[in-house]
A and B are shown apart, each in its own frame.
Chain A
Amino acid sequence: MASEMESSLEVSFSSSCAVSGASGCLPPARSRIFKIIVIGDSNVGKTCLTYRFCAGRFPDRTEATIGVDFRERAVDIDGERIKIQLWDTAGQERFRKSMVQHYYRNVHAVVFVYDMTNMASFHSLPSWIEECKQHLLANDIPRILVGNKCDLRSAIQVPTDLAQKFADTHSMPLFETSAKNPNDNDHVEAIFMTLAHKLKSHKPLMLSQLPDNRISLKPETKPAVTCWC
């Protein structure tokens, strides 16, 4: 089972690096790397989301994240290869006191996750945002809000309009998805691809650009994305 949690991306990427280095003909072409941290309460589905994006499928089993798990995926955006490193962080308070400095070090973007079927996880968001403000050096780093539906059998407790108001208040775009729903595969993809595009162009996500997000969601869904998995 543990093997299914693996991504083969790293192996092939390392091979590419090794080959380039060995040949000496080309300088090692290292992709631009963006570090994205995914934070939120315990058990809201952070691991499912990150795994879904990097491995392209829902993990059969997850276990409580202790400290931080690392995931990675390389994508091609407008001809340039971008490497996205996702830090899947521990949601429990005790780990964060030890690790929080390292989570935010050299971070390029932040993804806040709550469980749409758990109102308490939504009510925790102000604390997560406050933590983010305290530890981020730059205040123009892209941040997005993701509502994940963890349990398909449970009813949604966080209405979309409530979440949208909250996101608008904090100048963040809102995405709602379900890492477990097979039909939402493209949607999970779009969330991180949108973020990757913004990182590539160095443009911060601002409230005024929300219309752009709506427009860009459509074209980004259609083109096939190179997946190294």
Chain B
Amino acid sequence: MATTSAASDLACSAAPSPVGGASAAAAVEEEEREVVRVRVKKCESFLSPEFRSFAVDPQITSLDVLQHILIRAFDLNGKKNFGISYLARDRLGQEAFLSLLSDWDLSTAFATASKPYLQLRVDIRPSEDSPLLEDWDIISPKDVIGSDVLLADKRSSLTTAALPFTQSILSQVGRTLSKVQQVLSWSYGEDVKPFKPPLSDAEFHTYLNHEGQLSRPEELRLRIYHGGVEPSLRKVVWRYLLNVYPDGLTGRERMDYMKRKSREYEQLKSEWAQRVNPEDLEFIRSTVLKDVLRTDRAHPYYAGPEDGPHLRALHDLLTTYAVTHPQVSYCQGMSDLASPILAVMDHEGHAFVCFCGIMKRLAANFHPDGRAMATKFAHLKLLLRHADPDFYQYLQEAGADDLFFCYRWLLLELKREFAFDDALRMLEVTWSSLPPDPPEHEVELVGPPSQVADTGFGSHRGRPVRQRHMLRPAGGGSSAFEDAVVHLATSSQGPSSGGRLLRQASLDGLQQLRDNMSPRKDLLVQLSHPATLISSKSLSEPLLNSPDPLLSSSSRPDSPSSSSPPSTQEASPSGDVAVGSPSMPEVGSPRDPGKSVPPPPPMGLPPPQEFGRGNPFMLFLCLAILLEHRDHIMRNGLDYNELAMHFDRLVRKHHLGRVLRRAKALFADYLQSEVWDSEEGAEATAPS
């Protein structure tokens, strides 16, 4: 008892100082808001118990991460055979240690952690090694921060047997300090390791049942969100992330499904001449070819000769998509989206099915009316102002608050901003942050036919001389007049109309929040881990409805208003921006902010199902990149062009680890604060 008390007192009193000393100011601030203090007791057969204390961020700590921390803290290197349990109180207030076997258990443990700390117990299972050697293993260099520490520990381990009992206790405390510092630096270091290793084939199979059916799609996505996918496994897993498979397919059914869809693709590829006239086909092919020849040619997969098989496959894939989806057709940038998919799938037919899966979500980015892009810009501005008002004000004064240097980021979901292999990891993490959206029966490989009326992506009443840009050229002697009419119609809407739409959108947003409150409450009770909210079904339903606004806007591309509430809500931000844009040239820069920035919604940032128009995490990646360079930009007083050129030079050079870590932390804050703000005020105090 005396031994236990002494060790306990020393550990408790010693633990706070490394926390204070090791953490940066920002980390301290984060800790005050999110950190859960943990005290761990290690029990091992005949040895005296050991104690360690440290703090973790529940947002980013999974069970595997916790195991890694414990392995390091207790020098359990190479010894996996231990159990973890946590102290919990039942309704009657009685305390008992419960087994900690899953991430769900860990979330429960965090939620029920009693102040001032979460109490864990580590039970070491008997092993064939000698008990004494187990306790005093020499630390592997990989586990040591610096060589000095290594030497110190070596000396300590070599001479421990000879030390008197009290000195042995002191050396244990020293090791505790070292381990806590290592854990903290590991958690908050500049160049952070992945919190979780990439999903391996063995682990992936734990998500499949004996027939090969994926039983827990949300958990699979959460797992990939935290660590990505091993490269060799991407070919299989990306089909889930891109919503290629309908639910419930067995292993054999998946193989048959892909074979059938590949045959369907080959059939479509042979029908180019039957679906479009020769002139349009030639235009599509030449446009696609020009871009394919300059897409990712530095990557080995595409570095071959211009008539190589991979470039031909990319060309055929994009041409087939343009021919079978005339309302979308082809637009620059699509080759950037298709390129990583083809490189991973290494099969033209499979890649085409995956490309159809991603374009179901991203086709709106390429709509000529620019509404989807305008919405994303508006949301990114809201987010930046919300996250860093000083930086936002700086950009306003520089006239750069339109953020149009981020156009390529938003259009291509940052695919071109990272080195190719980093882009693959960034893409799969982003896709896994979205709720599953499997097709009801099959991925449709053919889109709606082009419409006869003056609607859709390609307006054939555009400027007649540039008819080659339109897939359906039409004589239009009055095109200039038509443009003037459209312009007048847009102008006549005026700010009042925009304001009306905006107010209506705000009310719709409120109503939608109330409607979603009930299911979110249930989810909150079941899954207290905020990150899990990104997998909830309540996010799926709005996304499933998203095609409706698109179709509606397709049928009336020039109409700023619509009777459909979702369309109205969707149209409002872009409509407001569109109304503001024509008058921009007439007003000075000081007044631009008033025009271009809509007033913030009353509930703060939009909810996840609306934010970023189908991809909220992508906005946080963009924000993370902006904030990574914030100090450089403000310290050097860069103007619009200078900061735009600064980011231009960073193409494919962004540091993936830092950007991902920052984006995930910001995203976690958003998900958590959004929930707290929407629901009971009392619970809002719980995390702090």
User: In the complex the two chains form, what is the Cα distance from A70 to B640 in whole Å?
Assistant: 10
Q: Mark B311-326, 1 if CB is under 8 A from A, else 0.
A: 0000000000000000
- A63 contact set on B, CB distance < 8 A: 291, 294-295, 336, 416
Residue pair A92, B331 in contact (C-beta under 8 Å): yes
Residue pair A66, B585 in contact (C-beta under 8 Å): no
B267-305 CB contacts (< 8 Å) to partner A? 287, 290-291, 294-295, 297-298
Residue pair B649, A68 in contact (C-beta under 8 Å): no
Is residue B373 contacting chain A, with contact meaning CB distance below 8 A? yes
Is residue A203 contacting chain B, with contact meaning CB distance below 8 A? no
Is residue A208 contacting chain B, with contact meaning CB distance below 8 A? no
Minimum CB–CB distance from A192 to chain B (whole Å) comes to 16
Is residue B648 contacting chain A, with contact meaning CB distance below 8 A? yes
Known: A61-B297, A62-B294, A92-B332. A98 touches B370 (CB 8 A): yes
Known: A101-B585, A104-B585. A66 touches B407 (CB 8 A): yes
Is residue B366 contacting chain A, with contact meaning CB distance below 8 A? yes
A1-56 CB contacts (< 8 Å) to partner B? 1-2, 5-7, 10, 14, 17-18, 21, 33, 35, 42-43
Known: A64-B335, A85-B641, A92-B332. A42 touches B287 (CB 8 A): yes
Is residue A217 contacting chain B, with contact meaning CB distance below 8 A? no
Minimum CB–CB distance from B2 to chain A (whole Å) comes to 62
How many residue pairs at the A-B interface have CB separations less than 8 Å?
120
- B584 contact set on A, CB distance < 8 A: 101, 105
Residue with the highest number of chain B CB atoms closer than 10 Å, among A35, A66, A69, A102: A66
User: In the complex the two chains form, what is the Cα distance from A86 to B649 in whole Å?
Assistant: 14
Is residue A80 contacting chain B, with contact meaning CB distance below 8 A? no
Q: Mark B497-533, 1 if CB is under 8 A from A, else 0.
A: 0000000000000000000000000000000000000
Residue pair B416, A66 in contact (C-beta under 8 Å): yes
Q: Which of B290, B463, B652 contacts A43 (CB under 8 A)?
A: B290
User: In the complex the two chains form, what is the Cα distance from A85 to B405 in whole Å?
Assistant: 14
- A227 contact set on B, CB distance < 8 A: none
Residue pair B641, A102 in contact (C-beta under 8 Å): no
Stretch in B28-36, B222-230, B465-473 with 4+ CB within 8 Å of A = B465-473
User: In the complex the two chains form, what is the Cα distance from A2 to B585 in whole Å?
Assistant: 35
Is residue B134 contacting chain A, with contact meaning CB distance below 8 A? no
Known: A66-B412, A101-B581. A127 touches B332 (CB 8 A): no
Q: Which of A1, A14, A70, A85 contacts B636 (CB under 8 A)?
A: A14
- B462 contact set on A, CB distance < 8 A: 93
- B457 contact set on A, CB distance < 8 A: 94
- A78 contact set on B, CB distance < 8 A: none
User: In the complex the two chains form, what is the Cα distance from A7 to B462 in whole Å?
Assistant: 38
Residue pair B469, A64 in contact (C-beta under 8 Å): no
- A102 contact set on B, CB distance < 8 A: 402, 404
- A90 contact set on B, CB distance < 8 A: 332
Is residue B631 contacting chain A, with contact meaning CB distance below 8 A? no
- B297 contact set on A, CB distance < 8 A: 61
Q: Which residue of A lies closest to B298 (CB)?
A: A1
Residue pair B294, A72 in contact (C-beta under 8 Å): no
Residue pair A70, B405 in contact (C-beta under 8 Å): yes
- B646 contact set on A, CB distance < 8 A: 10
Residue with the highest number of chain A CB atoms closer than 10 Å, among B294, B367, B369, B645: B645
Residue pair A93, B469 in contact (C-beta under 8 Å): yes
Residue pair A137, B294 in contact (C-beta under 8 Å): no
Known: A2-B653, A6-B649, A135-B585. A35 touches B407 (CB 8 A): no
Is residue A71 contacting chain B, with contact meaning CB distance below 8 A? yes
Residue pair A120, B295 in contact (C-beta under 8 Å): no
Residue pair A42, B290 in contact (C-beta under 8 Å): yes
Q: Which of B335, B468, B581, B652 contacts A2 (CB under 8 A)?
A: B652
> Number of contacting residues on A, CB 8 A?
47
Residue pair A68, B333 in contact (C-beta under 8 Å): no
Is residue B189 contacting chain A, with contact meaning CB distance below 8 A? no
- A77 contact set on B, CB distance < 8 A: none
Residue pair B407, A67 in contact (C-beta under 8 Å): yes
Is residue A153 contacting chain B, with contact meaning CB distance below 8 A? no
Residue with the highest number of chain A CB atoms closer than 10 Å, among B295, B407, B412, B636: B407
Residue pair B366, A94 in contact (C-beta under 8 Å): yes
Residue pair A67, B408 in contact (C-beta under 8 Å): yes
- B370 contact set on A, CB distance < 8 A: 94, 97-98
Minimum CB–CB distance from A156 to chain B (whole Å) comes to 19
Residue pair A130, B463 in contact (C-beta under 8 Å): yes
Minimum CB–CB distance from B418 to chain A (whole Å) comes to 11
Is residue B642 contacting chain A, with contact meaning CB distance below 8 A? yes
- A137 contact set on B, CB distance < 8 A: 585
Q: Which residue of B lies closest to A137 (CB)?
A: B585
User: In the complex the two chains form, what is the Cα distance from A66 to B645 in whole Å?
Assistant: 14
- A206 contact set on B, CB distance < 8 A: none
- B468 contact set on A, CB distance < 8 A: 120, 124
- A61 contact set on B, CB distance < 8 A: 294, 297-298
Is residue B644 contacting chain A, with contact meaning CB distance below 8 A? yes
User: In the complex the two chains form, what is the Cα distance from A130 to B462 in whole Å?
Assistant: 12
Q: Which residue of A lies closest to B330 (CB)?
A: A92
User: In the complex the two chains form, what is the Cα distance from A85 to B649 in whole Å?
Assistant: 15
B residues with a Cβ closer than 8 A to A are 287, 290-291, 294-295, 297-298, 331-333, 335-336, 366-370, 373-374, 402, 404-405, 407-408, 411-412, 416, 457, 462-463, 465-466, 468-470, 480, 581-582, 584-585, 636-639, 641-642, 644-646, 648-649, 651-653
Known: A101-B584, A104-B585, A124-B469. 6 other contacts (CB 8 A): A2-B653, A33-B639, A42-B290, A66-B408, A101-B582, A135-B585
A residues with a Cβ closer than 8 A to B are 1-2, 5-7, 10, 14, 17-18, 21, 33, 35, 42-43, 61-72, 85, 90, 92-95, 97-99, 101-102, 104-105, 120, 123-124, 126-127, 130, 135, 137
Can you give 15 contacting A-B residue pairs, CB < 8 Å?
A10-B646, A33-B639, A65-B332, A70-B405, A72-B645, A85-B641, A90-B332, A93-B462, A93-B470, A94-B367, A94-B368, A94-B457, A123-B465, A124-B465, A124-B469
